[in-house]
A and B are shown apart, each in its own frame.
Chain A
Amino acid sequence: MTTFTRTARAGAVLGLASLALVACGRDSGGNAPTEQGEAIDDGKATGTIEVWAMGTEGDMLGDFAAAFSEENPDAKVEVTAVPWESAHEKIANAIASGETPDVTLVGTTWMGEFAQSGGLEPLPEDLVDPADFYEGAWGSTEVGGTSFGVPWYVETRVLYYRKDLAAKAGWDAAPKTWDELKQFSVDLQDKGGAEYGIQLPAGGTGSWQTMLPFAWSAGVDITNEDGTEYTLDTPEMVEALEFYKGFFDDGISPTRMLDAGELESGFADGTYGSFISGPWHTGLVEEQGVDQDEYAVAPLPGRDGGPGTSFVGGGDLAVFADSDNKESAWKFVQWLADPATQQGFYDEVGDLPAVPAAWETGELAEDPQLQIFGEQLKTTVAPPAVPTWEEVATVVDSEVEKTTKGDTSVEDAVAEMQRQAAQIGTGL
């Protein structure tokens, strides 16, 4: 018994000590700067520029950057390839310890968090012109009205459909409005012979990426202008979710979660007549034996005739606040965002350029399929660059699932989204 009380007492003392340590209080306001950085000079870059990049970009950037070193003989670019799976943690740890490289590729949804923690340097004045980039992609770099990086490459979601089944159902062009999309899917199912007219995610991780474009098309703004409050509870949101839910209620889209690979094989054998996804799916469906002339891509239909708004993802380039070679780091970023470099990078790696000017010549200008993506990119919205977005996104996912699979009404689901989002706060 005595041992027990002694241990308990020691534990209590230690616990209190640790409490005393943490009870220091938060400064008012965030850690992130609120103004753009000072403009940098036009001189050549110098010194070593350490760069972190993930995935294919990480593997290819090292060789690709040789051209930069040729233009700037005093600068040396050192690229470290980081796997996507561990990238978030690695960047977070680097920021926490202050031991950072100079430049990093940042997933667009991480910008809010890293900028808010004070780990990223605000973009210098006049380094690039925001008007040179796709508007949606540029939005992903802006945290609380200040830009913390430059879009590097982009991806967006479009409608994939089986052209042969559509022709059988009497459609020789893609739907242009929501009503047409609904009719299109119904026809694919009833007349075209597809088991399901369209495959939309009924919930689960990442389903917001397919659902929210409908909301954006209806005119929803997820946060207010400064990103300080979520504004999900609007009639437009209700309208969009109501429309989305209709596909499941009418049995046009399956409600079950698909296994990996099931969508592509199902698209090939005619189980699913259409779906919404990004550029990587062209390769995946062709691998499954769908011929180029058996399917087509089309921009997302708008609510009533105008272009539909899609999701834009991709990667941004940012410079760390703890970098010791900031000027040269920004010059490297500037070089990567240049239209000629962007086009060269597409030829080499296949990443879609974030700069429309890079789409005006070469393969990007000629390939009709790529042109659809280029057209869609003109009307896109990036998810809000706030630190809590990923958490709120799962709230959206789970409320969407409650309407498509459960019996929660759309109004209740939207109200609940807003209630939880307000409780979480944007973190800015």
Chain B
Amino acid sequence: MSAPTSSPPAPATRAPEGGTRSRHVDPTRRQQAVAAWMLALPFVLLFVVFSLGPVLASLGMSFTDMKRTDIRNPFAVEFVGIDNYVKLVQDPLFRKVTLNTLLYLLLGVPLTMAVALVVALGINRVERLKGLLRVGYYLPVVTSIVAVSVVWKFLYRDNGGLFNTVLGWVGIDGPGWLDSTTLSLPALVLMAVWRNFGTLMVIFLAGLATIPQEVAEAAEVDGATGWSRFRYITLPMLRPTLLFGAVITGIGYLQFFEEAFVMTKGGPLDSTRSATYFTFDQFGFGNYGYAAAASYLLFLAVVLLTWVQFRWLGEREAKR
């Protein structure tokens, strides 16, 4: 999130002797540096001990065969190289959960973004009750995911669930949403869209507010229709906002877990088991090395996804 700093040094920071860089360090500046480090020290220490340390330890762990029964002598384990990673790639269940996670991502992200954009455009146009609508759509985001999942589980019930009752009014015999291997994942996606689009809507609203009115007016004068104004003005000007939205939603969806944990326990037939769920299970079984490897693969996937999104939606002029 930091601003680009590779540009030539700004005049203010140039040494007073002239343009050449000097090895000599001003004593005041050194004192300031020491003070800065002193002030940063508590954070740095906490970060190293409680964040960086465990992260590196878990990375190390992913290259060993560490199991739960090794807890009394954690260093007396075998180094197994990339065996855990190889085993993961060959594990049919891991392949299945990867596929589930990808499906969840591919269905969920575009849908959430589309819904959020439509709602944001709509709210942007209304004059009255804007605040109320904004709060209403944002409300699901701040509700507990577990509470939401429990309620939606009831909505999806085969007999007496809201969805099937409503379908029954028009003469359709609704399926058991969460008992079907094909429908359960889309059902979870639908719930996730409902719950998560509020965040994006708020972000998109802010993005829309930055589009200068004059541009749209100029286009209108030139005879652009509503659709072309949206396609050639709103969308391009929203690009950075869309990118941000895609990245944060994507990262969130890649790690989906609670919904499945509460609503389906990963079933039926593992159709809603996600990569995170798989890792959770493996930690539960005490296969610490294997679980650590699985979580690093997920981490790699998040990095990769973010990189791809930056390539697709990032600034055009960044290309050379």
Q: Is the CB of B79 within 8 A of A22?
A: yes
A235 at the interface (CB under 8 A from B): no
6 nearest A-B pairs in the assembled complex, by CB-CB distance: A18-B60, A391-B285, A23-B79, A96-B71, A256-B179, A117-B69
Separation of A259 and B286 alpha carbons in the complex (Å): 28
The winner among B56, B70, B267 for most chain A CB atoms within 10 A is B267
Within 8 Å CB of A259, what residues of B? 153, 157
Tell me the smallest distance from the CB of B16 to a CB of chain A, in Å. Answer: 26
A67 at the interface (CB under 8 A from B): no
B12 at the interface (CB under 8 A from A): no
Tell me the smallest distance from the CB of B5 to a CB of chain A, in Å. Answer: 10
Separation of A178 and B179 alpha carbons in the complex (Å): 28
A40 at the interface (CB under 8 A from B): no
B73 at the interface (CB under 8 A from A): yes
Interface positions of A from 1 to 44, Cβ below 8 Å from B: 14-15, 18-19, 21-27, 30-31
B127 at the interface (CB under 8 A from A): no
Within 8 Å CB of B67, what residues of A? 387, 427
Q: Is the CB of B69 within 8 A of A26?
A: no
| 19 intermolecular pairs with C-beta atoms under 8 Å apart | A14-B56, A15-B60, A18-B57, A19-B63, A25-B76, A26-B70, A26-B76, A26-B77, A96-B71, A118-B72, A204-B267, A257-B178, A259-B153, A259-B157, A391-B285, A394-B281, A401-B269, A402-B269, A427-B67
Task: Report the nearest B residue to A2, measured CB to CB.
Answer: B6
**Which one of A23, A26, A406 lies within 8 Å of B269 (CB-CB)?**
A406
Task: Report the nearest B residue to A15, measured CB to CB.
Answer: B59
A398 at the interface (CB under 8 A from B): yes
Within 8 Å CB of A23, what residues of B? 64, 79
Q: Is the CB of B70 within 8 A of A117?
A: yes
A203 at the interface (CB under 8 A from B): yes
Separation of A204 and B272 alpha carbons in the complex (Å): 12
Interface residues in chain B, defined as those with a beta carbon under 8 Å from any beta carbon in chain A = 56-57, 59-61, 63-79, 153, 157-158, 176, 178-179, 181, 264-265, 267-270, 281, 284-287
A116 at the interface (CB under 8 A from B): yes
Within 8 Å CB of A369, what residues of B? none
Q: Is the CB of B68 within 8 A of A203?
A: no
Within 8 Å CB of B66, what residues of A? 22
Q: Is the CB of B269 within 8 A of A113?
A: no
Separation of A394 and B284 alpha carbons in the complex (Å): 11
**Which one of B69, B72, B268 lies within 8 Å of A427 (CB-CB)?**
B69
Separation of A14 and B52 alpha carbons in the complex (Å): 10
Task: Given A203-B268, A257-B265, check contact A22 B72 (CB 8 Å).
Answer: no
Interface class of chain B by DSSP: loop
Separation of A406 and B96 alpha carbons in the complex (Å): 15
Task: Report the nearest B residue to A390, measured CB to CB.
Answer: B285
Within 8 Å CB of A256, what residues of B? 158, 176, 179
A237 at the interface (CB under 8 A from B): no
Q: Is the CB of B56 within 8 A of A15?
A: yes
Task: Report the nearest A residue to B75, measured CB to CB.
Answer: A24
Within 8 Å CB of A191, what residues of B? none
Separation of A96 and B286 alpha carbons in the complex (Å): 13
Task: Given A19-B79, A24-B77, A205-B265, check contact A117 B71 (CB 8 Å).
Answer: yes
Separation of A390 and B71 alpha carbons in the complex (Å): 18
Q: Is the CB of B60 within 8 A of A391?
A: no
Q: Is the CB of B68 within 8 A of A401?
A: no
Q: Is the CB of A388 within 8 A of B72?
A: no
Tell me the smallest distance from the CB of A120 to a CB of chain B, in Å. Answer: 11
Task: Report the nearest A residue to B57, measured CB to CB.
Answer: A18
A128 at the interface (CB under 8 A from B): no
Task: Report the nearest A residue to B176, measured CB to CB.
Answer: A256
Within 8 Å CB of B284, what residues of A? 390
A241 at the interface (CB under 8 A from B): no
**Which one of A92, A95, A388 lies within 8 Å of B285 (CB-CB)?**
A388
Fill in one digit per residue for A157-198: 1 if any B CB lies within 8 Å of its CB, else 0.
Answer: 000000000000000000000000000000000000000000
Within 8 Å CB of A204, what residues of B? 265, 267-268
A119 at the interface (CB under 8 A from B): yes
Q: Is the CB of B267 within 8 A of A18?
A: no
Task: Given A117-B72, A257-B265, check contact A18 B56 (CB 8 Å).
Answer: yes
Tell me the smallest distance from the CB of A29 to a CB of chain B, in Å. Answer: 11
**Which one of B68, B75, B158 lies within 8 Å of A113 (CB-CB)?**
B68
Task: Report the nearest A residue to B66, measured CB to CB.
Answer: A22
Q: Is the CB of A405 within 8 A of B69?
A: no
Separation of A118 and B268 alpha carbons in the complex (Å): 37
Q: Is the CB of B285 within 8 A of A401?
A: no
Q: Is the CB of A22 within 8 A of B287?
A: no
Tell me the smallest distance from the CB of B56 to a CB of chain A, in Å. Answer: 5
Q: Is the CB of B60 within 8 A of A22?
A: yes
Within 8 Å CB of A388, what residues of B? 285-286
Fill in one digit per residue for A249-273: 1 if any B CB lies within 8 Å of its CB, else 0.
Answer: 0000001110100000000000000
Within 8 Å CB of B71, what residues of A? 92, 95-96, 117
Q: Is the CB of B69 within 8 A of A22?
A: no
**Which one of A15, A98, A203 lies within 8 Å of B267 (CB-CB)?**
A203
Separation of A31 and B287 alpha carbons in the complex (Å): 17
